[in-house]
Copies of this chain bind each other. A is one copy, B any other.
């Protein structure tokens, strides 16, 4: 028993060290953008849901925004349709849009909601169609089909769901004035939602450790980037390829009033808790 008491004492120490972080985020909104590999591994998914429920219980208002690229492709394949991408965007004809809606709002969204419920949390799944909260226009109908460019986000449905004591889980779909449904890039949507909610922070869970000075050296993590430094980092090639649009979303979120934006490694179990409640950040913070 002495052994376990010791452990308990250590556990208590950890909780005590979390205190100032809990105070800092108390009653504030944190938007978590969830996707990529962290979403495919079942164990990691469980860890992320645990983190979300824990943050919610200790008085932080967590909004979970998710995309779902790979599962959309899988379902399209199962239905004998090929996925086609242009400029990094999924070319989305009407039939594909239907599948995107089914997979995002019906499969992934409700699965996350279900998991949260399974560990004692309370979630309600929303998409941009609920309360018609995400209004879009076509980015370029001819080229990409039903890929949406966000015109307006109404924060009310999310705020209402938070006020009722549920964790909002948001699938990134939008609608235009004619009622057509559009696929939206999840990073962009998360940034806009966080901005509209004036969130305290936006946490982007990615497949990388954060921004690395040398992308082959995992110890070269850049812990903090001022948005004004971003162009320079792009110029240097530190931010390149698929990271450029991700970083653009971070900057956009900061511009729209989010206090801090993080890019963290979603492959680490409990990365969200580590970033939020411990004294060492584990990814890159944009301010």
Contact = CB atoms under 8 A, between A and B. Distances in A.
Interface of A: 1, 4-5, 8-20, 22-23, 26, 47, 50-51, 53-54, 57-59, 75, 78-80, 98, 101-107, 109-111, 113-115, 117-120, 122-127, 129-132, 157, 160-161, 163-164, 166, 173, 175, 179, 181, 219, 221, 268-270, 273-274, 277-278, 280, 282
Closest 3 CB pairs of A and B: A106-B106, A12-B270, A117-B132
Given A103-B106, A117-B129, A12 B274 contact: yes
Contact of A58 (B57, B80, B164): B57
B277 A15 contact: yes
A258 B220 CA distance: 55
Q: How many copies does the complex hold?
A: 6
A131 B117 contact: yes
A41 B88 CA distance: 37
Contacts of A104: 106
B126 A124 contact: yes
Task: With a 10 A CB-CB cut-off, give which of A26, A125, A130, A269 has the most chain B CB atoms.
Answer: A130
Given A80-B78, A98-B107, A123-B131, A57 B23 contact: yes
A129 B110 contact: yes
Contacts of A179: 114-115, 117-118
A278 B123 contact: no
B102 A57 contact: no
B16 A14 contact: no
Given A51-B16, A79-B79, A106-B101, A122 B114 contact: no
Nearest to A130: B124
Nearest to A271: B12
Contacts of A280: 1, 4-5, 8
Contact of A16 (B54, B122, B125, B164): B54
Nearest to A13: B270
A166 B131 contact: yes
Contact of A18 (B15, B101, B111, B123): B15
A270 B19 CA distance: 13
Contacts of A273: 11-12, 15-16
Contacts of A105: 105-106, 109-110, 125
A139 to B, nearest CB: 19
Contacts of A124: 124, 126, 130-131, 157, 161
